[in-house]
Amino acid sequence: MSVKITKPRGTNDVLPSQSAAWQAVEGKLITAARRFGYSEIRTPVFEATELFARGVGDGTDVVNKEMYTFEDRGGRSISLRPEGTAGVVRAAIENGLLADALPRKVCYLVSCFRYEKPQSGRYRQFHQFGVEMFGADAPAADAEVICMVSDILRGFGLAGVTLELNSIGCPACRAEYHKALRAYFEGYRAELCPTCQERLDKNPMRILDCKNPECREIASGAPVILDYLCPECRAHFEAVKDLVAAAGIAYTVNPTVVRGLDYYTRTVFEFSVPGYPALCGGGRYGGLVAELGGPDIEGVGFAIGLERLLALLSEQGLAPAQPKGCDVYLASMGEAAGKKAFLLAEALRRADVSAQCDLCGRSVKAQMKYADKLGARYAMVIGDDELAKNEAELKEMAGERRVMVELLDDSFTDAVRKVLAT
Ligand code: HAM
């Protein structure tokens, strides 16, 4: 008995009717990144679990509750990557990318895996485009990354984009802040959700991004990090804001933006669109590279969720159109014409024209129906008459245009290309 197996919960199939939009979006993102000096890096889908525990942080929901972790056949603990940054940092260190020519800029398109409760826009397998810039401490680096995201979103023509900025300081100013947060939340310990009670002991800042309504209500009165920044972090943040404003990018400072990953220091930011909170997020990470065994240099970057970006583009009527599946369909009647159509289709493809012919032995009527379903721009029917005359009519499928074309080996492809181009 056959069984119908369905896709795992929280995953998506990108169907042929959708893939061109994905490719166009990915192409635009990579092109924008190249303009800013980024080259693509590709890293494994799975890494040693320890990379994410140390990198992303074992106090985060992403690592604690959402990671796909398993033991491989060699007894190693392996995890599917829940985000792109940690693997990219590992690869940059391991391959000596951080030894010279800093800042080093890399970008990536990755699939990520998080065992979250699936809902619209939240999946267990999703895709990110991201960038990481290593070895640039100046506020201009943070500002350039923010400009890049803003340019990208503007380049797609998106409406309603907002930017929220915050600084979460360095370990020095954060120590003071943690004390203040602990003292504040201690007064509400019993009212916090069980996870936040644990967070209170481990990393009280994580309480600030709890989604539980009671915890949110309590967190709304908590001390804000901006009041605890050391003079260096304060000056850095002021300079980032200054450059972002000078570049004409509107923002609001939101001290509750703390991000759900542990590696951030100083600048953090989120771009949102109504209905798409935190469409894109990023920031600076001061200690991550050294923590993972690399040189003592900082990184700054961002990532955007591709499923969310594509959904938003289609909601705003901006999704790239699916190109026609076929320029020319060569229908045929009879064996000799079938062979001719086969060879002419091949000649067209060798000349960079997308062409198809009958591969099923169907009637001309059925072939034309199929050409219509393919969305072919032009079709040609080759039968005994056409073979005898060595010419056939190229017909526009959705219009009235008709052009006679000679079926000669040395002129056919040029003649068809000319028709397609005019
Ligand atoms: P993140 O905010 O965890 O940051 O994820 C980045 C983006 O991935 C989000 O803004 C969202 O669009 C998308 N995303 C996250 N989770 C899901 C999900 N379950 N389903 C669909 N989309 C999702 C990072 O991952 C950092 N590595 C960003 C970064 C790079 N920071 C510095 N460099």
pLDDT of 22-48, one tens digit each? 999 999 999 999 999 999 999 999 999
Q: For 357, which DSSP code? A: E
Distances, alpha carbon 382 to alpha carbons 9, 267, 331, 420, in Å: 49, 66, 6, 19
How many Å apart are CA 170 and CA 296, to the nearest integer?
A: 14
User: How sure is the predictor about 410, in pLDDT bands with cuts at 50, 70 and 90?
Assistant: confident
Distances, alpha carbon 66 to alpha carbons 52, 83, 178, 211, 301, in Å: 11, 11, 25, 15, 22
What pLDDT, on a 0 to 100 scale, did the predictor assign at position 218?
95
Token output for 75: 């007894």
What pLDDT, on a 0 to 100 scale, did the predictor assign at position 59?
82
Q: What is the mean pLDDT of residues 215-228?
A: 94
Q: Which residue has the tokens 């369905």?
A: 6
User: How sure is the predictor about 324, in pLDDT bands with cuts at 50, 70 and 90?
Assistant: confident
- What is the distance in A from the centroid of ligand 1 to the CA of 242? 26
What pLDDT, on a 0 to 100 scale, did the predictor assign at position 211?
85
Q: Report the predicted TM-score, pTM, of the whole model to 2 decimal places.
A: 0.94
Share of the chain above pLDDT 70, in %: 100
- What is the distance in A from the centroid of ligand 1 to the CA of 20? 23
How many Å apart are CA 416 and CA 403, to the nearest integer?
A: 9
Q: What is the mean pLDDT of residues 261-284?
A: 97
Which among 379, 352, 355 is positioned nearest to 365, based on CA atoms? 379
Ligand 1, residues at Cβ distance < 6 Å: 83-85, 114, 116, 122-123, 126, 128, 130, 132, 260-261, 278-283, 301-305, 307-308
Digit-coded pLDDT (tens) for 116-157:
999 999 999 999 999 999 999 999 999 999 999 999 999 999
What pLDDT, on a 0 to 100 scale, did the predictor assign at position 167?
98
Q: Is 6 strand, coil or helix?
A: coil
User: Is it the case that residue 225 has pLDDT exceeding 90?
Assistant: yes
- What is the distance in A from the centroid of ligand 1 to the CA of 375? 37
- What is the distance in A from the centroid of ligand 1 to the CA of 303? 6
Backbone φ, ψ for residue 386 (5° rounding): -65, -40
Query: Cis before residue 103, ω within 30 degrees of 0?
Result: yes
Longest dimension (CA), the chain: 94
- Report the residue among 109, 308, 309, 313 best suited for mutation to probe ligand 1: largest number of ligand atoms under 8 A from its CB: 308
For residue 323, give every residue at least 6 positions away whose Cβ sits within 8 Å of its Cβ, in sequence order, or none. 20
Strand 355-357 with 252-253, pairing: unpaired
How many Å apart are CA 338 and CA 358, to the nearest integer?
A: 7
* 8 Å CB contact between 383 and 336: no
Sign, CA torsion 262/103/45/151: positive
Average pLDDT value for the chain: 96
For residue 307, give every residue at least 6 positions away whose Cβ sits within 8 Å of its Cβ, in sequence order, or none. 12, 121, 123, 126, 127
Which among 320, 301, 300, 297 is positioned nearest to 310, based on CA atoms? 320
User: Is it the case that residue 210 has pLDDT exceeding 90?
Assistant: no
* 8 Å CB contact between 163 and 269: yes
Backbone φ, ψ for residue 406 (5° rounding): -75, 140
Q: For 55, which DSSP code? A: I
- Report the residue among 11, 83, 107 best suited for mutation to probe ligand 1: largest number of ligand atoms under 8 A from its CB: 83
User: Is it the case that residue 178 has pLDDT exceeding 80?
Assistant: yes
Which among 374, 322, 309 is positioned nearest to 18, based on CA atoms? 322
- What is the distance in A from the centroid of ligand 1 to the CA of 82? 9
What pLDDT, on a 0 to 100 scale, did the predictor assign at position 337?
98
Q: Is 292 strand, coil or helix?
A: coil
What pLDDT, on a 0 to 100 scale, did the predictor assign at position 35?
98
User: Is it the case that residue 209 has pLDDT exceeding 90?
Assistant: no
Backbone φ, ψ for residue 120 (5° rounding): -55, 125
Residue 56: what residue type? V
Q: What is the mean pLDDT of residues 54-65?
A: 91
- What is the distance in A from the centroid of ligand 1 to the CA of 214? 25
CA angle 161, 220, 282 (to 5 degrees): 40
Neighbours of 208 (CB within 10 A): 24
| Protein residue with its CA nearest to atom 21 in ligand 1 | 122
User: Could you identify the atom of ligand 1 that is nearest to the CA of residue 124?
Assistant: 19
* 8 Å CB contact between 382 and 364: no
What pLDDT, on a 0 to 100 scale, did the predictor assign at position 322?
81
How many Å apart are CA 305 and CA 25, to the nearest integer?
A: 12
